[in-house]
Amino acid sequence: MQIWVDADACPVAIKDILFRAAQRTKIQVTLVANHYIRTPASKYVNFMQVTQGFDVADDEIVQRCQAGDLVITSDIPLADEVITKQCLALSPRGELFTRENIKSRLNVRDFMDTLRSSGIQTGGPAALSGTEKQAFGNKLDQWLAQQQ
């Protein structure tokens, strides 16, 4: 089992939590992004840089992840794809995407995309809060405990 990170938009605070968890539990964490990301010198943390392009990092994660892996992403379509491959998907805000909730999340995402396409300003996500960082850490710890 390993952790895959859709790292292009993953907050630094979440990456730091993942780096510490990798060292503590000796579980492999791989960040995938289309731009360079600094990672600590650790045999448990890897970085994979992919070419520029729409969904190139997402496609790489989908291709490489295996059933039981954990994927960190806020990208709803990516979460849907990895859930189909029997992986778990966790947002940096601590929301666990499941078979039960991913279709409704896709519908909301598509609706918001339609609004933005028609010129309606929907605003971006709020800054990552301390409560959300804690929720992420708790969900990550639950998954890690199950791997022991």
Q: What is the pLDDT of residues 25-42, one digit of tens each?
A: 999 999 999 999 999 999
Mean pLDDT of the 103-126 span: 72
What CATH number is associated with residue 15?
A: 3.40.50
77 CB-side CA count, 13 A: 8
Q: What is the pLDDT of residues 48-104, one digit of tens each?
A: 999 998 889 999 999 999 999 999 999 999 999 999 999 999 999 999 999 888 787
Phi, psi of 112 (to 5 degrees): -65, -40
Report yes or no on whether pTM surpasses 0.75.
yes
Mean pLDDT of the 111-132 span: 78
CA 67 from chain centre, in angstroms, equals 15
Q: Residues 122-125: contacts with CB within 8 Å, 24+ apart?
A: 125/74
User: So what's the pLDDT on residue 21?
Assistant: 98
> Per the structure, how many domains does the chain have?
1
Radius of gyration for the alpha carbons in the chain, expressed in angstroms and rounded: 15
Question: Which residues constitute the domain of residue 32?
Answer: 2-147
Mean pLDDT of the 132-143 span: 97
Phi, psi of 32 (to 5 degrees): -120, 125
pLDDT category of residue 148 using cuts at 50, 70 and 90: confident
User: So what's the pLDDT on residue 118?
Assistant: 75
Beta strand 70-72 with 2-6 is parallel
The rounded distance, in Å, linking the Cα atoms of 87 and 105 is: 17
